[in-house]
Amino acid sequence: MALVKRILVTGGAGFLGSHLCERLVEMGHDVICLDNFFTSQKSNVAHLLDKPNFELIRHDITLPIWLEVDEIYNLACPAAPGHYQYNPIKTMKTSLMGAINVLGMAKRCRAKVLQASTSEVYGDPEVHPQPETYRGAVNPIGPRACYDEGKRAAETLFMDYHRMNKVNIRIVRIFNTYGPRMHPYDGRVVSNFIRQALCGEDITVYGDGSQTRSFCYRDDMVEGIIRMMENPEDFTGPVNLGNPEEFTILELAKLVIELTGSKSRIVFRPLPADDPVRRRPDITLAKQKLGWEPKTPLREGLMRTIEWFRSIDLSHYRPPTPCYEQ
């Protein structure tokens, strides 16, 4: 009989967190979902509330909490520019104080703890594609620094707790991810384009659309995260998780228009400060250590995501911040 673990997921009602909770509940584990519902939706986990092995706690991870757990997935943090720039000091506190609080809990409980870091630690990269050995090119005083540097500092704390206190850690660097349950007003490029296309609005492209991103479907990402947590103890990471297929933003906009059958026009707006010119993961390490690589092609994943967007009522979703499209 498989061991039932007590697992905490911070940010568990968010886009990725809710799917992770769902998987862990299906695996039979005792799952605690912790979220402050700033950029997430309770509806993402409503279907889990009657499960005997699922528990939901409204709490801000910047504040201490005492729980008895075996594993912690630390996903809590606003991840879209319009959201994390809305209150940049709070964003930095979420990364730093959140890391300190989950690491303290892991130390006390002797739990394994995984940090959901980000490709943003590479900033506007001068190395392409980006391997884990690349140290990045982040502007520490720019408008994106509250997120980029917050995540970099969280990685530092994780490594120091591991070296100094022998805490059993994992670090994954998550590249652009998309799929059903994306908040329609989260400001990410995929959700923006799909919402705008389905509403018949202009598709907003920042810059000339030549900047590139690599898009990983949510199921593939959740599988990679779980594999990293379950990996033998001697591999802490960091490890890149993302899709190495690279697309320009303009290519994505045209594909969304094609798949939705929308008559939306593409309009261009000035590029925000410090927006990365290109982004593509080197996933050699993930293949070697986790036996992981994404399976879902962009067209297939977008079709599933568009189908979900068609099924929801946008009036049930509150824009978390007034500047979500930035």
Asked if residues 193 and 256 have their Cβ atoms less than 8 Å apart, the reply is yes
- Residue in the block written with tokens 């594909």: 255
Residue 278, classified by CB atoms within 10 Å of its CB into exposed (0-12), middle (13-18) or buried (19+), is middle
Q: How far apart are CA 278 and CA 125, in angstroms?
A: 7
Backbone angles phi, psi at 55, to 5 degrees: -135, 140
Q: How far apart are CA 174 and CA 228, in angstroms?
A: 12
Sign of CA dihedral 217, 218, 219, 222: positive
Residue 187: DSSP 8-state: -
Active site residues: 147
Asked if residues 293 and 169 have their Cβ atoms less than 8 Å apart, the reply is no
